[in-house]
Structure 1
């Protein structure tokens, strides 16, 4: 091997997508999420939703990208309903909560864990003091239906990334508004190569009484949460930056930063209205990024409105590095259907001054109608060869696993679900049977409360 080969980077950025759960429905639970609010109480198709997400995973794996899968959570979540005072057998609990508090039934039945960009914040070993990958599950404190996710999320991550030699798992931050944390949806890592020391950008919606804040919708991410995670992950303060999201953008439906900005390697693609001070972010990246000149693509208001960005989820696209050094944009079909958005994408692809040279769209309508695009569905984890080997091998997507999961979905998932169905004991039984089988397929052990 010659010296040039020895210098080739060996770490990869793996994507771990969440499988859509059997109770995927449109309850409109997420305040500030325009799509979720718009489609509230419409019938959903869990079978189609799960297959759409799996098709994206399978396609990326076929392209040669490291693609893993994360399991859905048990829903309806009977243990939480019992904590809230509903007694009796499971069927009786469902009957009583539907009669007395249907809003709680909807919250305890949400399939929102499918959006694994909210599962955790992840820092690769290249950035951490001990050289291990650090995970902090998001506390998701803003909404009841999401606040019940962190316990099982932590279990799943600890089971998949089990080696203490390579991985560190932290507890979620205290679930208070002052520590509101929504995970990787508000965190971006920029780097020259995945092997090298990267820059970790934490984006928040609210910091304190003296800072501007949204007037209509909640700011889900607090600055104190990003600061705590940076400490927990033992990140070098010189390579960490905390930036505020524009309050007006949050009020316009940008509930997470990944709805209006996306970064990959040395590239940052964002809307003009993404940050309170975008210039400060760009100057910091220019000063700190080593080994490669950063590339910034800022989409102006005059080119594309925030409303069009939110409706199409353009900035919730994934960006993937290709073997030739160029990048591919993975977007939702809705981007093609909006002529302004598609024109903006074509201008990006046709511009020789940035590395994005290709675009590919996917049908993710079931997720999009509930407010989540391609990037919402994935959690990025940078792994060196030893760390990659230490990952539970059964969660890596290949043709054999994809075919098996397709059959599993067809066996258990309904093709139509309305809110009244959430009280059906047969749905609960089928969901548990599905998850019990899934833990065997993926080698996850007794992950769920009903298995313990």
Structure 2
């Protein structure tokens, strides 16, 4: 076992943050379609969360936003002329496509990639596979910049491998770490990697959702496990409950979160709860660990409340004393059943103080929440040894100095109100490009973007 820490790479919200309702199956995204957003507030809320967690001693870093609008996509789909012509034609003829080209969804970096630490891989390197996100047009090209960014941050080939995305076909639909969890006695110890899938491409008889699409396939999860050189005895694949997908649980991280040897989950999360827990226990026994399952019953928190509050789209963080903190959005306090459950978990209820979770940390992430992403969506977890952490690009690590440089950058380049019609404004495209050009300098990543 090595000394290692888990770094949370939070997505820095981009200057085109808007509510287009592009994600069918994401209830919050659909509920706020075409309302006005506040990109400046969204970015500052995210930065405040990063700063606060870094100040608490948690390893925290930034994953930069992507180029928007995506002119490559717009031109590929037949819009031509100057950039201003492209925007005008797209707004007039296909405003949904223009919204896709302006999507700020890369802020949800849980979907950027799947990550396996060196303690789990056969070659002793940290492995990344950028998610192809091929289920939604507005996300289907994110892997291009995600791969480029990850290779810029983790450039040492002796310590890191950044794989190309899986083939962008329905059989290998991959949504990244939103459907992946790692369990281990410590971040530097060998662990169990847990993949949750929504459907099986090559077995039509396998259950699948009827209303909303299942975005992750078993075949994709199996391919990533092979690419990362994972030990089959320490790898578990489990089917998501198709009924909950049809109720708005578009990723597993909307209904379950894990850390250390703890799985915090809703009783309806998995197609076969007993078999899933048994498989995890058997795999953890191979690394001399056990499973601490914190089950939330429907009687305590109905599924609709869990989805509305994003209770399980929370971060579960290990503290130095061995206990865990649960990072939740304010919406959890605004939902009666969820607030009551959390009070019982840590605040003096009959079971509080007996489990592994003994603290709540709350953040105002309302701009992200209204677009369908909570604390867990905003971060990509990367466990790194001390040597690996020293080998990655240092300019993205959250410090007081970086925070003090990013806040005025946001205030200078981001609008405080963005409506759907603003996407046709050529000035917005210029503002986005200028912001990213300046960000390259702040983060020490010249050439990160193709801004030509």
TM-score tier, shorter chain, comes to over 0.9
| 1:145 counterpart = 2:142 | no
TM-score (norm 2): 0.97
1:226-265 to 2 correspondences below 5 Å? 226-265=221-260
Query: Shift of the alpha carbon at 1:103?
Result: 1.0
Aligned counterpart in structure 2 of residue 334 of structure 1, from 331, 349, 364: 331
* Structure 1 Cα separation of the partners of residues 13 and 444 of structure 2: 18
| 1:173 counterpart = 2:166 | yes
Query: Shift of the alpha carbon at 1:283?
Result: 1.3
**Count of equivalent residues:** 444
| 1:35 counterpart = 2:28 | yes
Unaligned runs of 5+ residues in structure 2 are none
Identify the residue that residue 55 of structure 2 maps to in structure 1.
62
Q: Deviations over 1:214-266 (max 9, x none)?
A: 00000000110000000000101111111000011000000000000000010
1:330-409 to 2 correspondences below 5 Å? 330-349=327-346, 350-409=351-410
Other structure's SS at 1:302 match = coil
1:105-120 to 2 correspondences below 5 Å? 105-120=98-113
State which drifts further: 76-85 or 311-320: 76-85
Query: Shift of the alpha carbon at 1:83?
Result: 1.0
1:82-161 to 2 correspondences below 5 Å? 82-161=75-154
Identify the residue that residue 415 of structure 1 maps to in structure 2.
416
Q: Deviations over 1:356-412 (max 9, x none)?
A: 110011000000000000000000000001100011010000111001100000000
| 1:312 counterpart = 2:313 | no
| 1:322 counterpart = 2:319 | yes
Query: Shift of the alpha carbon at 1:344?
Result: 1.2
State which drifts further: 80-89 or 285-294: 285-294
Identify the residue that residue 4 of structure 1 maps to in structure 2.
none
Unaligned runs of 5+ residues in structure 1 are 1-6
Aligned counterpart in structure 2 of residue 222 of structure 1, from 217, 223, 232: 217
Identify the residue that residue 12 of structure 2 maps to in structure 1.
19
Other structure's SS at 1:402 match = helix
Query: Shift of the alpha carbon at 1:293?
Result: 2.9
Query: Shift of the alpha carbon at 1:278?
Result: 1.6
Q: Aligned-pair RMSD on alpha carbons?
A: 1.0
Contact 1:87–1:93 (Cα < 8 Å) also in 2: yes
Aligned counterpart in structure 1 of residue 206 of structure 2, from 208, 211, 227: 211
Contact 2:236–2:283 (Cα < 8 Å) also in 1: no
Other structure's SS at 1:154 match = helix
Aligned counterpart in structure 1 of residue 276 of structure 2, from 272, 281, 289: 281
* Structure 1 Cα separation of the partners of residues 334 and 147 of structure 2: 38
Query: Shift of the alpha carbon at 1:339?
Result: 1.7
Other structure's SS at 1:381 match = strand
1:163-202 to 2 correspondences below 5 Å? 163-202=156-195
State which drifts further: 280-289 or 235-244: 280-289
Query: Shift of the alpha carbon at 1:162?
Result: 0.9
State which drifts further: 212-221 or 341-350: 341-350
State which drifts further: 292-301 or 265-274: 292-301
TM-score (norm 1): 0.97
* Structure 1 Cα separation of the partners of residues 25 and 395 of structure 2: 37
Q: Deviations over 1:183-209 (max 9, x none)?
A: 000000001111111101100000131
Contact 2:54–2:398 (Cα < 8 Å) also in 1: yes
Contact 1:119–1:150 (Cα < 8 Å) also in 2: yes
Identify the residue that residue 432 of structure 1 maps to in structure 2.
433
Other structure's SS at 2:326 match = strand
Other structure's SS at 1:203 match = strand
* Structure 2 Cα separation of the partners of residues 160 and 131 of structure 1: 18
Other structure's SS at 1:450 match = coil
Contact 2:112–2:130 (Cα < 8 Å) also in 1: yes
* Structure 1 Cα separation of the partners of residues 43 and 299 of structure 2: 37
* Structure 2 Cα separation of the partners of residues 345 and 284 of structure 1: 28
Contact 1:156–1:444 (Cα < 8 Å) also in 2: no
Other structure's SS at 1:303 match = coil
* Structure 2 Cα separation of the partners of residues 245 and 54 of structure 1: 32
Other structure's SS at 1:286 match = helix
